[in-house]
Amino acid sequence: MSAWLRVTSFGDSIVTVPAAAAIILWLISGRAWRMAGWWIVLFGAGMTLVVATKIAFIGWGVGVAAIDFTGISGHAMRATAVLPIIGCLAFNGSRQKGRLAGFAAGLGIALLISVSRVVVDAHSVSEAASGALLGTAISWMFMRITASVIRPAINGWLLVLSLTGLFWVSFAEPAPTQEILTELALKLSGHDRPFTRADWVVQSHSGS
């Protein structure tokens, strides 16, 4: 289990959000303004969907009990959105096959992170799968939309230093995102306690 916990730590927001910001920095340093803009829009949209589904469940109990869905997995979404693009940009100077290989390698690692969320009992299969699908769609859309754009010259030293920093950050304590979302959901809903999976059990028993 400890190995899976290490794997899942790479999908934490303390790693993946700075990684998403690093992508913006790499693109801007290469004067790829349009690519940076598209990345901000797509990744921002993904984050918004994740937060919206989590708040909807915590605050109002909006979910799908039949498939044990309480919200899109942020770890899975961020990993599958960010890591394929990092892999692609790392091989930006290569031919198309090299860039696609980098994309595939990043996606493979991201999918492993998505699986780890189920293994460590942090998410259900439906939550991890929805996160992985959303993140993959974001990274693939970014690749497709920017395919005709001239490739930016990514600073190799900036790339290496950023990735080294992100690796060491992964050893830090996880970000308290769940606590922050819970507090926000309660303020928005006006409820005094968060909705949990246990409430589904109570509801099913009371309805039977």
The per-residue pLDDT for 21 is 94
Domain limits for position 203? 2-207
Number of Cα atoms under 13 Å in the Cβ half of residue 104: 6
Per-residue confidence (pLDDT) for residue 200, from 0 to 100: 83
Say which residues have a Cβ less than 8 Å from residue 106's Cβ, sequence separation at least 6: 82, 83, 84, 85, 86, 87, 88, 139
Number of domains in the chain: 1
Q: What is the pLDDT of residue 207?
A: 56
**What's phi and psi for 153, nearest 5 deg?**
-85, 100
Report the pLDDT value the prediction gives residue 162, as an integer from 0 to 100: 83
Report pTM. Answer: 0.91
> pLDDT below 70 — which residues of the chain?
1, 150, 201-202, 204-208
pLDDT for 206 equals 62
Q: How many CB atoms sit inside 10 A of residue 197's CB?
A: 13
